[in-house]
């Protein structure tokens, strides 16, 4: 069979992407799903910095590659051995397939799945197979998903079945922004009711972290970003205070307002200065979480002395530090109850043909979560 897909053939790409056109929408060949795999008709896919980091070269991947990892769709066909899904089921895609049998998976940490990480790095599905091709040559899969396409063949281990009553353009956001941002607060950060929480960087993941902090019962939620529109949005979502971290003595202001610093700070911006701000606004004995994926050359700008003498905790959070099949259901239940208004993160929808322009807006910080509408 064939499908339209947004293909990246080389990186890094020059800005503006509207002119350089790094992503070309092409018709490519798509093989049938193999054992343990599923053919999904993609309905909506989000533009995320994890895609942008491949385009700009921060996260080198094998080329050519069909991008897209935050998406939702409808099951079209089942590969051999898939017995717990049916044609017509609504699903959300997860960007780390978990094998279920390696040591991290057995320990309840599917984000660290070893075969999943190896497959994602190689640009294959969990099985090691590549189902996309162009002119007989392989087109690699992006983190096992490749969702900027009409159709995608993915591992069953990359899918979570969802309630068909929820609109799929909203469901798509749960696969990355919500799973990562909310999870960084409640799973990795272990936020407790009545604590103070700061979020540095207010993209889709950061604003989802703000929602998670509010839903967890934080007494104070401090939002920090250089974009005034995002600060205003964070306040409307429940942040109790909002600051531009470039302002003079923002760190001192936050520490004073929170009586020595926040209990938990979450950084989602992917730059060293943002991590430093998050660490500096955290109180003695507090917890600092980073959920961003900066260029591999970026080093953490902090001192070991403060980490020890102040009994700080610094933790990384990938896939929200949780279990997607469990957490996505919980977050959707909170959304249905009105306690996690994820739909407010959606700031526009584009056709697949305007994907390069969409990544320009993302790179400029001018959007929270734009979606690519693939199918009705």
Strand order in the sheet with 220-224: 241-243, 220-224, 196-200, 262-267, 282-290, 313-316
How is 63-106 classified by DSSP, letter by letter?
Answer: SSEE---EEEEEEEEE-TT--S--TT-EEEE-SS---S-SHHHH
Q: Helix 272-280 crosses helix 250-257 at what angle (to 10 degrees)?
A: 30
Q: What percent of the chain has pLDDT over 90?
A: 94
Please say if the pLDDT value at position 186 is more than 70: yes
Model pLDDT for residues 286-303, shown as the tens digit of each residue: 999 999 988 888 888 888
Cα separation of 341 and 333, whole Å? 11
Residue 326 tokens, joined: 């469990």
**Residue 233 is inside which H or E element, if any?**
helix 228-236
Per-residue model confidence (pLDDT) at position 303? 82
SS3 call for 192:
coil
Per-residue model confidence (pLDDT) at position 297? 86
Model pLDDT for residues 210-253, shown as the tens digit of each residue: 999 999 999 999 999 999 999 999 999 999 999 999 988 999 99
Please say if the pLDDT value at position 305 is more than 70: yes
What does residue 148 show for φ and ψ, rounded to 5 degrees?
-80, 65
Nearest to 199 by CA among 72, 108, 292: 292
Identify the bridge partners of residue 221 per DSSP, sorted by sequence position.
Answer: 197
Cα separation of 334 and 325, whole Å? 15
Task: State the distance between the two ends of the chain, measured CA to CA, in whole angstroms.
Answer: 20
**Could you check whether the bond before residue 16 is cis, i.e. omega within 30 degrees of 0?**
yes
Cα separation of 284 and 109, whole Å? 28
Please say if the pLDDT value at position 376 is more than 70: no
Per-residue model confidence (pLDDT) at position 295? 85
Cα separation of 261 and 280, whole Å? 8
Please say if the pLDDT value at position 375 is more than 80: no
Cα separation of 310 and 301, whole Å? 16
Cα separation of 116 and 154, whole Å? 12
Residues 6+ apart with CB under 8 A from 146: 5, 65, 66, 67, 68, 69, 132, 152, 154
Model pLDDT for residues 54-107, shown as the tens digit of each residue: 999 999 999 999 999 999 999 999 999 999 999 999 999 999 999 999 999 999
Question: How much is the mean pLDDT over the chain?
Answer: 96
Instruction: Please state the separation of Cα 238 from the chain's center in Å.
Output: 21
Cα separation of 19 and 14, whole Å? 9
Q: What percent of the chain has pLDDT over 70?
A: 99
Model pLDDT for residues 339-371, shown as the tens digit of each residue: 999 999 999 999 999 999 999 999 998 889 999
Please say if the pLDDT value at position 157 is more than 70: yes
Residue 54 tokens, joined: 């491949």
Give the CA distances from residue 42 to residues 153, 227, 243, 280, 310, in Å, rounded to whole numbers and listed in that order.
10, 32, 38, 42, 48
SS3 call for 299:
coil
């Amino acid at each position: 069979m064939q499908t339209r897909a947004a293909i990246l053939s080389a990186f890094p790409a020059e800005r503006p992407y509207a002119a350089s056109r790094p992503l070309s929408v092409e018709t490519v060949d798509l093989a049938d799903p193999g054992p343990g795999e599923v053919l999904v008709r993609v309905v909506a896919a989000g533009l995320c910095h994890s895609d942008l980091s491949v385009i700009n070269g921060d996260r080198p991947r094998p080329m050519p590659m069909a991008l897209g990892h935050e998406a939702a769709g409808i099951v079209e066909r089942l590969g051999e051995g898939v017995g717990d899904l049916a044609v017509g089921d609504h699903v959300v895609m997860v960007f780390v397939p978990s094998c279920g049998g390696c040591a991290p998976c057995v320990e309840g940490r599917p984000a660290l799945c070893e075969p999943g990480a190896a497959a994602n790095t190689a640009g294959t599905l969990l099985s090691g197979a590549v189902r996309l091709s162009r002119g007989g040559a392989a087109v690699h899969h992006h983190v096992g998903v490749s969702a900027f396409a009409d159709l995608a063949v993915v591992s069953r281990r990359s899918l979570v079945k969802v309630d068909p009553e929820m609109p799929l353009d909203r469901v798509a956001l749960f696969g990355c922004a919500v799973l990562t941002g909310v999870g960084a607060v409640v799973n990795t950060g272990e936020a407790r009711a009545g604590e103070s929480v700061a979020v540095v960087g207010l993209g889709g993941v950061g604003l989802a972290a703000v929602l998670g902090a509010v839903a967890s019962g934080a007494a104070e939620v401090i939002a920090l970003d250089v974009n005034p529109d995002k600060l205003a949005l964070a306040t409307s979502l429940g942040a109790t205070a909002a600051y531009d971290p470039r302002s003079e003595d923002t760190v001192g202001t936050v520490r004073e307002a929170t009586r020595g610093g926040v209990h938990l700070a979450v950084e989602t911006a992917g730059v060293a200065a943002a991590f430093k701000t998050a660490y500096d606004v955290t109180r003695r004995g507090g917890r600092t979480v980073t959920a961003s994926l900066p260029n591999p050359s970026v080093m953490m700008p902090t001192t070991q002395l403060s980490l020890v003498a102040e009994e700080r905790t610094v933790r990384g959070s990938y896939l929200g530090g949780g279990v997607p099949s469990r957490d996505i259901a919980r977050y959707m239940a909170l959304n249905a109850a009105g306690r996690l208004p994820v739909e407010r993160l959606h700031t526009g929808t584009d056709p697949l043909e305007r994907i390069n322009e969409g990544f320009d807006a993302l790179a400029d910080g001018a959007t929270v979560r734009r979606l690519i509408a693939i199918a009705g």
